[in-house]
Amino acid sequence: MEQRLYIAENGCKRLDLFLSEQSDEFTRSRLKRLIEDGGVTVNGAVVKKAGAEIKSGDTVVLTVPDAVEYTVKPENIPVDIIYQDEDFAIVNKAQGMTVHIGNGNESGTLVNALLHALDSLSGIGGVMRPGIVHRIDKDTSGLLVVAKNDKAHVSLAKQIAEKSCHRSYYALLEGNLKDERGRIVTDIGRHPTDRLKMTVLPDGRGKLAITDFEKVAQFGTEYTLCRFVLQTGRTHQIRVHAKHIGHPVACDPVYGYKKQKLSVNGQLLHAYQLELTHPTSGERMTFNAPLPPVFKDILQKLCAKHGLKLEDIIKE
């Protein structure tokens, strides 16, 4: 256990904001948890409100608990690591793999595989989600960035929050999407009657969700291939927004049509590109992942049916 002493020198600030300015080791969310767990005192008194006001001259002590050993077991599961260095790794996650344990998933997850494949993972995500900076759904394939130390984790999480980490997806949508491009802006939150689903909610009832889209190819009136770029990172965001505009992601078992023409287990949604700034060097880096075989095979068949060539549509 470690204690850190800080003296406020300037005017009034929120406690969590003040602490985040003192060190780049912790995310605001982790500081909030430490505060709520009683790990912070102000002028000798425990304060459990992240929004508590800190005044000039206040003495703030942050108690950092000892690191907890991983309880998730490493498993020798094949995982496609397309890049790694001392700070982070870029993983091309297969469709059907859950990112971390929880909700009955105690093994076979990406975290289990990473604990075996990598020499280190950041601890900010806790013992259940070590290294996990952001997630993609179980049945969505594609790129994830994984932090290998806490400093890198803070930098990468900040980039996502500030929208300087760009995440791009390909999705095959149902029907004929008439708009060539656009931006979807809604609030997204838990469905009021089905808590396993997310849904678009009236303004102020959920969290702001912004998704940009661009049509890539049209396959008659059956399907539209689209490129999506996330400006926020809400749970199931692209899938919910696709349904919201009347063109759900093909083969989506939760938000799609009940009767599917294509025989695929899971939505045809792939995180194909990830652009970020290196946490240490400051270099701007872009990573790409090719379409998985099932997705590519379906597109090739649709292209052949409609007189198109896939290589003219998607440059890999």
Q: Are residues 156 and 186 part of one domain?
A: no
Q: State mean pLDDT over 299-315.
A: 92
Q: Are strands 269-277 and 141-147 parallel, antiparallel or unpaired?
A: parallel
Asked whether the predicted pLDDT for residue 21 surpasses 70, the reply is yes
DSSP line for 85-104? -SSEEEEEEPTT--SS-BTT
Exposed, middle or buried: residue 311 (CB in 10 Å: 0-12, 13-18, 19+)? Answer: exposed
Say what the pLDDT of residue 182 is. 96
- Write the single-letter amino acid at 302: L
The active-site residue, picked from 58, 137, 150, 252, is 137
- 254: tokens are 């939760």
* 64 or 229, greater pLDDT: 229
On whether residue 69 sits in a domain, the answer given is no
CATH of the domain at 182: 3.30.2350.10
Domain boundary among 161, 179, 200: 161
Q: Give me the chain's average pLDDT, please.
A: 89
On whether residue 199 sits in a domain, the answer given is yes
On whether residue 74 sits in a domain, the answer given is no
Say what the pLDDT of residue 200 is. 94
Q: Are residues 171 and 156 part of one domain?
A: no
CATH of the domain at 39: 3.10.290.10
Q: Are residues 292 and 197 part of one domain?
A: yes
Q: Are residues 143 and 246 part of one domain?
A: no
Q: How far apart are CA 196 and CA 37, in angstroms?
A: 28
Is 137 among the residues known to form the active site?
yes
Q: How far apart are CA 147 and CA 85, in angstroms?
A: 10
Q: What is the pLDDT of residues 194-210, one digit of tens each?
A: 878 899 998 778 889 99
Q: State mean pLDDT over 30-45.
A: 90
On whether residue 73 sits in a domain, the answer given is no
On whether residue 75 sits in a domain, the answer given is no
Q: Are residues 152 and 104 part of one domain?
A: yes
Asked whether the predicted pLDDT for residue 99 surpasses 90, the reply is no
Domain boundary among 18, 34, 64: 64
Q: Are residues 245 and 138 part of one domain?
A: no
Q: Are residues 151 and 39 part of one domain?
A: no
Q: Are residues 298 and 191 part of one domain?
A: yes
Q: Identify the band that residue 105 occupies on the pLDDT scale cut at 50, 70 and 90.
A: low
Q: Are residues 132 and 100 part of one domain?
A: yes
Domain boundary among 145, 161, 177: 161
On whether residue 148 sits in a domain, the answer given is yes
Domain region containing 192: 166-313
On whether residue 72 sits in a domain, the answer given is no
Number of domains in the chain: 3
Asked whether the predicted pLDDT for residue 70 surpasses 60, the reply is no
Q: Are residues 304 and 176 part of one domain?
A: yes
Q: Identify the band that residue 167 occupies on the pLDDT scale cut at 50, 70 and 90.
A: very high
Q: Are residues 308 and 197 part of one domain?
A: yes
On whether residue 220 sits in a domain, the answer given is yes
Q: Identify the band that residue 307 occupies on the pLDDT scale cut at 50, 70 and 90.
A: very high
Residue 176 contacts residue 220 (beta carbons within 8 Å)? yes
Q: Are residues 111 and 52 part of one domain?
A: no
Asked whether the predicted pLDDT for residue 144 surpasses 80, the reply is yes
Residue 222 contacts residue 175 (beta carbons within 8 Å)? yes
